[in-house]
Structure 1
Amino acid sequence: MGALQEPTAAMGPYRVEIRGESFYLNRIDAPAGVVTQPGRYEVTVPVADAPQIPAALDQVTGHPQWQRWTRPAQGEQPDTSWTLPPDKQGPAADSHWTVTVDGDRLHIRGPWVVHHEVHRNLLGTELGYRDMTELRKSITDATRDLALPAG
């Protein structure tokens, strides 16, 4: 169990729950078609979400728990074995983020497990704190040349 945070206006439909070494990132108002889940480790959201996701990450880095988590040792490689399916069949998630823009869609793939509950219009995932900096950079790099509204 974690600490639910009060969303800021800049976060749009994103919500954060802080935990010990990770956090939950949820998108409310995530009906099918607006959000898609092409695979276990990937999601497609509107490109307009690009400034809202980093705003949610700002809420995480501003929380006291962010300062307390144990940082990986210099050169330590990420371990994504926790992302394997329950039956242990199939590959684990990529250890790095891939973010691409395709028209009005933002495609994000990386070290997480995505759950899209279409019947509840809810998109949810758990992210390790260690993966946040690269996610933010990947989103920023992919959308740098787009005219997006500020969060």
Structure 2
Amino acid sequence: MGAIQEPTREMGPYGVEIRSESFYLNRTEAGGCTVPSRHEAVVPAADLTYLAAAFEQVRGHKAWRLREWAAGDPTDTSWTLPPDGTGEAPDIAWQVSRDGDKLSIRGPWTVYGVERGVLFTELRYLELTSLDEALKALGGGTDAG
């Protein structure tokens, strides 16, 4: 169980739940979002600024600042597999692309799908900086820290 954070206005439809080594990133009003695979989400391209604000909230929490998670292995993506351990593990590198008004994000996270109009994912703190850098390359993201 984690600590649900109060979303800021800058986060738009996103919310964050802080955990010990990871965080849940939730997007409400997700009717236009799709989940092509367990490790990929497609959201509106306008979400770049909302994601940057959500990541800033994560970096402002003591779980990030304490860096108790920092000794983890960023190449180990086995945690993203289903409980039965079957399926394809994601690449350790983020693949982000913009196609018109859509933003595709694929990488070392678990995307749980769009249920009841909510898209939710789990992302380890270890991967946040590299995702942020990939989003910056598209014109979004925040200062990595």
Aligned partners of 2:35 and 2:114 also within 8 Å: no
Gaps (5+ residues) in structure 1? 145-151
TM-score, normalised relative to structure 2? 0.89
Contact 1:41 1:114 in 2 (8 A): yes
Q: Which residue of 1 aligns with 2:91?
A: 94
Moved beyond 4 Å, runs of 4+: none
Per the TM alignment, residue 137 of structure 1 is displaced from its structure 2 partner at its CA by 0.9
Q: Work out the CA distance in 1 between the residues paired with 2:69 and 2:85.
A: 27
* Structure 2 unpaired stretches of 5+: 141-145
Is 1:136 aligned to 2:135, yes or no? no
CA contact (8 A) 1:96 1:111 kept: yes
Equivalent position of 1:16 in the other structure: 16
In our comparison, the structure showing a higher alpha carbon Rg is: 1
Per the normalisation by structure 1, the TM-score is: 0.86
Whether the 8 Å CA contact 1:112–1:127 is kept in 2: the answer is yes
Partner residue of 1:108 out of 98, 105, 110: 105
| Matched length | 139
In structure 1, give the amino acid aligned to 2:27: R
The AA in structure 1 aligned to 2:25 is L
Which residue identity does 1:12 align to in structure 2?
Answer: G
8 A contact 1:101–1:143 mirrored in 2: no
How much has 1:77 moved relative to structure 2?
4.5
